[in-house]
Amino acid sequence: MIAKPSEERLLIALQKKGRLADDSFALLKACGLRFAIRGGGLLARVKNMPVDLLLVRDDDIPSFVSNDAADIGIVGENVLVEEQLTGELDAQIAMRLGFSRCRLCLAAPERGTVQSADDLSSTRIATTYPGVTRRFLSERGIDAKLVEMKGAVELAPSIGVAESICDLVSSGATLEANGLAAFETILESEAVLIRSTRALPAAKADLLDKLLRRIEGVTTSSGSKYIMLNAPKAEVDAISALLPGSDAPTVMPLAGRDDMVAVQAVCTETVFWETLEDLKALGARAILVLPIEKLMS
Ligand code: PRT
Ligand code: ZN
């Protein structure tokens, strides 16, 4: 039913619907891929590049990449690591993408019998991540029983099937609503781009390289700003040192001013109001902070 990847068109497996989907689509669009996602289709064709999108459930993405049903995929690191630990998988991280961040945490009822990892021995832990949970328990030498669930793990303690849970947490609202408190993070996760260890045909390898460079450009530029200001010549070093995440700023003469210069720099870290105030205190004037749409170094 699912076509094997062709020799020329790069096939990217993406979550069709869910927490990863919109950011994955947005990232590819920011990389210049033009496509439309409609209705129940399994495949979406990219109009301006030899790329196709395979739209599936996130849990299937690592095995599709491993089994050549897709060339690359975007999935949560939590799913990748779980699949790596529970099956034979030829899939590895090609690039971290920085979105869909969450933590896989052990949590238990507030004021219950389990308050820390030290209390887990001989208790039951409910989870949809048996592989990662088991790894943690064996690293710590803890002998506990796993209760595998398909969902609604946060209900396990209240219905009496487990003393604690191991589940994904982002805001913490679900734990709180169920009277649970996290006491240990066993995995930090974000969306990752994955591929197998096998070589791709040359044309697709070039395409993947190009895509990775563009993703790098999009992810670096999204937090970056271009800063322009006029500075007293004597303070250029001090002012440059304040610019967050920039290495060599461009310093240029200002027409008709011997004592002042123009400074321009790419800042790869957040430029806070406090930084601008500190720059001003050093004599910087006409400070402009501009968003950067694309960045390629
Ligand atoms: O249908 P399909 O199988 O494709 O999707 P899914 O339902 O399995 O996954 P989905 O869309 O819920 O999540 C996809 C991925 O998003 C996950 O594998 C994680 O990598 C990432 N992600 C980020 C999260 C969360 N944050 C998250 N908060 N996945 C799930 N949750 C759940 C968590 O399980 C818990 O039920 O949200 C609840 C906790 O959220 P807070 O904000 O209340 O703490
Ligand atoms: Zn899923």
DSSP-based three-state secondary structure for 179:
coil
Nearest to 264 by CA among 236, 233, 227: 227
Q: If DSSP codes are grouped into helix, strand and coil, which group holds residue 158?
A: coil
CA of 196 relative to ligand 2 center, distance in Å: 20
Q: Which one has a higher pLDDT value, 86 or 220? A: 86
pLDDT at 1: 47
Calculate the alpha carbon distances from 135 to 85, 91, 141, 151 in Å: 8, 19, 10, 20
> What is the mean predicted confidence (pLDDT) over 232-242?
95
Sequential DSSP letters for 67-118: TTS-SEEEEEHHHHHHHHHHS----EEEEE---S-EEEEEEEETTSS--SGG
Mutate to test the pocket of ligand 1, among 17, 83, 127, 170 (most ligand atoms within 8 A of CB): 170
Indicate which residue's Cα is closest to atom 42 of ligand 1. 171
Cβ 95 vs Cβ 192: under 8 Å? yes
The band of 97, judged by pLDDT with boundaries at 50, 70 and 90, is: very high
The full set of domains in the chain, from first to last, is: 10-99+191-221 (3.40.190.10), 102-189 (3.40.190.10), 223-291 (3.30.70.120)
- Tens of pLDDT along 26-70? 999 999 999 999 888 899 999 999 999 999 999 999 999 999 999
H-assigned helices in 178-229? 202-222
Arithmetic mean of pLDDT, 18-23: 97
Q: How far is ligand 2, taken at its centre, from the CA of residue 179, in Å?
A: 25
Report strand pairing: 51-56 vs 10-15: parallel
